[in-house]
């Protein structure tokens, strides 16, 4: 079909229009008179429909189309869109065809299986330019092939069967005489699936339609066949759900030629709340040419006995085109300021979110810097919580108030040591000492306390408590491991690989430190077993106090039959069995009391040296070992290497990519709207 071929035939039917009339398009009421034609067209130009081109509207439509092309809707920004809905075979595609003057897949059964975005653009060159865009592809076609090209594209998007898809297909029609309009043709509503259609086809189609017509910015072009009762139309029901008052719904009544009876009454009665009004049309039938179709349409509404009675302001494709252009312009003008605002808001939201994301490392130098920063800050945190007792980074996390927790652990350990020595101090009094003395008998002068007896007793006692310091070391390092892991995780949280490596390094380091501590503690224990020494004067004082009661104790044991005797500074003891050990008793008493005085020293030493060792180890861990362990884990043999650090955590890089895409889209959109901001201002004033 070539419009220019038939243009001479139509020459005399051209409707005159002044440029002043065009300027007032925006202000004209919705039921505008038959539209005007652009006076810039060549004099022999006859459009398949009248041209409604308006210099002021066009750039705005272009902006919206560009925004649509940029997929701005993905950012949740709705664009003013004319959405064509209708029951199956109501004539949706035929209406679009009539508006565009091109062939679309038409006919019985489901033909439109994907949303078809149709961009009609007036251009003055005689040659029509058609382009299909889908799945990132752009395919140039022509009028004789467009129908087939749409079918091929539909098959690619929605498969070969009769299924549907929500991936849109864009058809750009640049043609002399078309109205500047962008519309979306949607699959027709079908109640009963035909052979080969999925069972839930109705729901699928309904979902797509709802998605398109729900936004306030959408204009619903409801296509109704004159042959049906409008109140039974599914498409009416759907549009009424989202647009109760019908303020954004326009009805196109097709097939006026097939059911002229009562049509006028139907559209004037308006039983179905169509706020933007009705337009009755007659589309192309069969292989008729567009010019013939328009002529025939004009003829029937002019001369048909019933159809001619319908007001001329609501009949014919040119009127429909005019109305749509006007509605579209009003809607764009109304919505663009909000769109511009949303674009700016979304852009700054996304930018600040992106800024909050950790910087992506792009070079080894950056990675090393980040790495050093992490180590320095982790060390500083550790110093604060483990050595200085500053908890500002973990105000509410008591587990990380480490100095306090460490003192608590040390106190518990000390208490356990105490409890151990207090056990059984009164029962079986001196029995152990007596048996040791029996075994340490040598040929020599009596009344000397044999040192070996004392050492044997000491070794036994130290051995009995040795599990306590070892257990304490275990507890402390397990706790420190949790603390260290928490601190390292926190500081390396932005660098996935580094996080893994530092955690591993932390684990290895703690294991090493724990091993070293255990060795040291066992040494402490061995040292205590080996030598009995202290320079602490408390020992002497304590011992003297206890030993001074020896004589009176021995006298009491043998001079009375009391089962228990009180020793000052020691406690009450059972003495019943002691009466048989007359000879060894004074020595046994001395042994016990020397040990009692000395054990207090040992006990304190086991706590004190543990505390000092702990502080020393923690400081060494932070100041020396930590950094070298992490460096070794990353850079040493078998390490992952600094390059690995450049890899982001998968979820982080996904998020960053998404944000960057979004920002790119919004920036481009911002540029697109920036150029027409002043025009919007003029429109808003209209």
Question: Which residues lie near ligand GDP (CB under 6 A)?
Answer: 86, 88-94, 106-107, 111-112, 188, 254-255, 257-258, 282-283, 285
**Residue 285 contact among ligand GDP, Mg ion, none, beta carbon within 5 to 8 Å by kind:** ligand GDP
Closest residue by Cα to residue 81 from 89, 90, 73: 73
Q: Which residues share a beta bridge with 120?
A: 173, 181
Minimum gap (Å) between residue 200 Cβ and Mg ion: 20
Residue with Cβ nearer Mg ion (92 or 175): 92
CB contact set of 675 (below 8 Å; sequence gap of 6+): 59, 63
Minimum gap (Å) between residue 251 Cβ and ligand GDP: 14
**Residue 592 contact among Mg ion, ligand GDP, none, beta carbon within 5 to 8 Å by kind:** none
Kindly state the number of chain residues that form the binding site for Mg ion, as judged by CB under 5 A: 4
Residue with Cβ nearer ligand GDP (188 or 260): 188
Residue with Cβ nearer Mg ion (93 or 501): 93
Closest residue by Cα to residue 48 from 33, 56, 37: 37
Q: Which residue, chain included where needed, has tokens 């180590």?
A: 375
Q: Which residue, chain included where needed, has tokens 């290497």?
A: 641
Mapped onto helix, strand or coil, the DSSP state of residue 397 is coil
Do 279 and 250 contact (CB within 8 A), yes or no?
A: yes
Residue with Cβ nearer ligand GDP (285 or 527): 285
Q: Within a 10 A sphere around the Cβ of 82, how many other Cβ atoms?
A: 21
Minimum gap (Å) between residue 239 Cβ and ligand GDP: 15
359 DSSP assignment: P
Residue with Cβ nearer ligand GDP (258 or 515): 258
The tokens for 6 are 């038939």
Three-state SS string across 85-104, please? EEECCCCHHHHHHHHHCCCC
Minimum gap (Å) between residue 142 Cβ and ligand GDP: 21
**Residue 103 contact among ligand GDP, Mg ion, none, beta carbon within 5 to 8 Å by kind:** none
Task: Tell me if 112 contacts Mg ion by CB under 5 A.
Answer: yes
Residue with Cβ nearer ligand GDP (281 or 400): 281
Minimum gap (Å) between residue 314 Cβ and ligand GDP: 15
How many angstroms separate the CA atoms of 484 and 670, rounded? 47
Residue with Cβ nearer ligand GDP (86 or 260): 86
Residues in the chain: 686
Minimum gap (Å) between residue 107 Cβ and Mg ion: 8
Residue with Cβ nearer Mg ion (185 or 432): 185
Minimum gap (Å) between residue 171 Cβ and Mg ion: 13
Residue with Cβ nearer Mg ion (61 or 236): 236
The H-or-E segment that residue 8 falls in is helix 3-10
How many angstroms separate the CA atoms of 414 and 417, rounded? 5
How many angstroms separate the CA atoms of 285 and 282, rounded? 9
**Residue 257 contact among Mg ion, ligand GDP, none, beta carbon within 5 to 8 Å by kind:** ligand GDP
How many angstroms separate the CA atoms of 531 and 273, rounded? 105
Residue with Cβ nearer ligand GDP (94 or 128): 94
Minimum gap (Å) between residue 297 Cβ and ligand GDP: 8
Minimum gap (Å) between residue 247 Cβ and ligand GDP: 24
Closest residue by Cα to residue 118 from 55, 71, 168: 168
Residue with Cβ nearer ligand GDP (3 or 188): 188
Residue 661 burial (10 A CB sphere; 0-12, 13-18, 19+): middle
Residue with Cβ nearer Mg ion (88 or 497): 88
Mapped onto helix, strand or coil, the DSSP state of residue 170 is strand
Q: Give the x/- contact pattern for Mg ion in 35-74, rule: CB under 5 A.
A: ----------------------------------------
- What are the backbone angles phi and psi of residue 222, rounded to the nearest 5°? -90, 115
**Residue 107 contact among Mg ion, ligand GDP, none, beta carbon within 5 to 8 Å by kind:** ligand GDP
Minimum gap (Å) between residue 149 Cβ and ligand GDP: 17
Distances (CA, A) of 47 to 9, 40, 284, 317: 11, 13, 15, 12
Minimum gap (Å) between residue 175 Cβ and ligand GDP: 19
Minimum gap (Å) between residue 258 Cβ and ligand GDP: 5
DSSP character string of 120-169: EEE-SSSS-EEEEEETTEEEEE-TTTHHHHHHHHHHHHH-SSS---S--E
**Residue 255 contact among Mg ion, ligand GDP, none, beta carbon within 5 to 8 Å by kind:** ligand GDP
Minimum gap (Å) between residue 306 Cβ and ligand GDP: 15
Do 186 and 85 contact (CB within 8 A), yes or no?
A: yes
Residue 55 burial (10 A CB sphere; 0-12, 13-18, 19+): exposed
How many angstroms separate the CA atoms of 430 and 410, rounded? 31
Closest residue by Cα to residue 283 from 104, 441, 461, 115: 104
How many angstroms separate the CA atoms of 88 and 108, rounded? 8
Q: Which residue, chain included where needed, has tokens 């001079």?
A: 559
Q: Which residues 91-110 are close enough to bind Mg ion by CB under 5 A?
A: 92-93
CB contact set of 205 (below 8 Å; sequence gap of 6+): 164, 186, 187, 188, 189, 190
**Residue 282 contact among Mg ion, ligand GDP, none, beta carbon within 5 to 8 Å by kind:** ligand GDP
Residue with Cβ nearer ligand GDP (97 or 432): 97
Minimum gap (Å) between residue 220 Cβ and ligand GDP: 15
- Residue 503 sits at the vertex; the CA angle it makes with 384 and 394, to the nearest 5 degrees, is 30
**Residue 98 contact among Mg ion, ligand GDP, none, beta carbon within 5 to 8 Å by kind:** none
Residue with Cβ nearer Mg ion (134 or 553): 134
Query: Where on the chain is the footprint of Mg ion (CB under 5 A)?
Result: 92-93, 111-112
């Amino acid at each position: 079909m070539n419009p220019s071929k038939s243009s001479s035939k139509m020459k005399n039917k051209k409707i005159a229009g002044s440029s002043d009339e065009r300027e007032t398009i925006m202000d004209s009421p919705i039921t505008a008179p038959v539209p005007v034609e652009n006076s810039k067209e060549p004099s022999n130009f006859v459009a398949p429909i009248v041209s409604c081109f308006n210099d002021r509207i066009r750039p705005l439509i272009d902006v919206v189309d560009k925004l649509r092309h940029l997929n701005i809707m993905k950012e949740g920004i709705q664009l003013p869109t004319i959405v064509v809905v209708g029951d199956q075979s109501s004539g949706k595609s035929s209406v679009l065809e009539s508006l565009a003057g091109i062939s679309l897949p038409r006919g019985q059964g489901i033909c439109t299986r994907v949303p078809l975005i149709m961009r009609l653009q007036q251009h003055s060159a005689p040659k029509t330019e058609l382009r299909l865009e889908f799945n990132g592809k752009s395919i140039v076609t022509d009028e004789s092939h467009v129908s087939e090209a749409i079918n091929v594209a539909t098959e690619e998007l929605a498969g070969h069967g009769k299924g549907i898809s929500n991936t849109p297909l864009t058809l750009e029609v640049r043609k002399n005489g078309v109205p500047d309009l962008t519309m979306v043709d949607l699959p027709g509503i079908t109640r009963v699936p035909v052979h080969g259609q999925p069972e839930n086809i109705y729901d699928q189609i309904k979902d797509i339609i709802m998605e398109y017509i729900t936004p306030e910015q959408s204009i619903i072009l409801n296509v109704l066949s004159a042959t049906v009762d409008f109140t039974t139309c599914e498409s009416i029901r759907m549009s009424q759900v989202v647009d109760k008052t019908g303020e954004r719904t326009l009805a196109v009544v097709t097939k006026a030629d097939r059911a002229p009876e009562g049509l006028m009454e139907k559209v004037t009665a308006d039983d179905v709340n169509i706020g933007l009004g009705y337009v009755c049309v007659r589309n192309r039938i069969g292989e008729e040419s567009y010019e013939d179709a328009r002529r025939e349409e004009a003829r029937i509404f002019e001369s048909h006995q019933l159809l001619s009675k319908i007001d001329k302001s609501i009949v014919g494709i040119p009127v429909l085109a005019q109305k749509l252009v006007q509605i579209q312009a009003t809607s764009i003008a109304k919505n663009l300021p909000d769109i511009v605002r949303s674009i700016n808001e979304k852009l700054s939201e996304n930018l600040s979110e992106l800024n909050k994301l950790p910087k992506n490392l792009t070079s080894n130098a950056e990675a090393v810097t980040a790495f050093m920063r992490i180590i320095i800050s982790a060390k500083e945190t550790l110093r604060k919580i483990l050595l200085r007792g500053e908890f500002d980074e973990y105000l509410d996390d008591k587990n990380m108030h480490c100095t306090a927790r460490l003192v608590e652990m040390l106190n518990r350990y000390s208490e356990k040591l105490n409890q151990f020595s207090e056990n059984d101090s009164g029962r079986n009094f001196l029995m152990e000492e007596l048996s040791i003395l029996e075994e340490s008998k040598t040929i020599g002068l009596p009344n000397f306390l044999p040192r070996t007896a004392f050492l044997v007793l000491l070794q036994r006692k130290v051995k009995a408590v040795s599990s306590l310091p070892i257990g304490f070391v275990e507890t402390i390092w397990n706790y420190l491991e949790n603390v260290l892991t928490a601190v390292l995780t926190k500081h390396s949280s932005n660098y996935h690989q580094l996080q893994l490596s530092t955690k591993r390094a932390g684990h290895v380091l703690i294991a090493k430190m724990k091993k070293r501590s255990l060795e040291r503690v066992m040494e402490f224990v061995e040292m205590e077993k080996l030598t009995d020494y202290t320079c602490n004067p408390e020992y002497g004082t304590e011992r003297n106090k206890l030993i001074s009661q020896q004589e009176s104790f021995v006298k009491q044991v043998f001079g009375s039959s009391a089962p228990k005797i009180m020793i000052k500074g020691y406690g009450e003891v059972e003495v019943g069995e002691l009466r048989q050990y007359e000879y060894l008793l004074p020595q046994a008493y001395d042994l016990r009391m020397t040990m009692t005085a000395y054990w207090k020293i040992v006990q304190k030493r086991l706590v004190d040296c543990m505390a000092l060792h702990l502080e020393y180890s923690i400081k060494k861990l932070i100041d020396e070992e930590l950094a070298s362990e992490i460096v070794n884990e990353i850079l040493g043999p078998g390490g992952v290497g600094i390059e690995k650090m450049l890899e982001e955590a998968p979820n982080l890089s996904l998020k960053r990519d998404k944000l960057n895409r979004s920002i790119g889209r919004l920036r481009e959109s911002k540029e697109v709207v920036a150029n027409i901001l002043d025009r919007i201002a003029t429109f808003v004033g209209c």
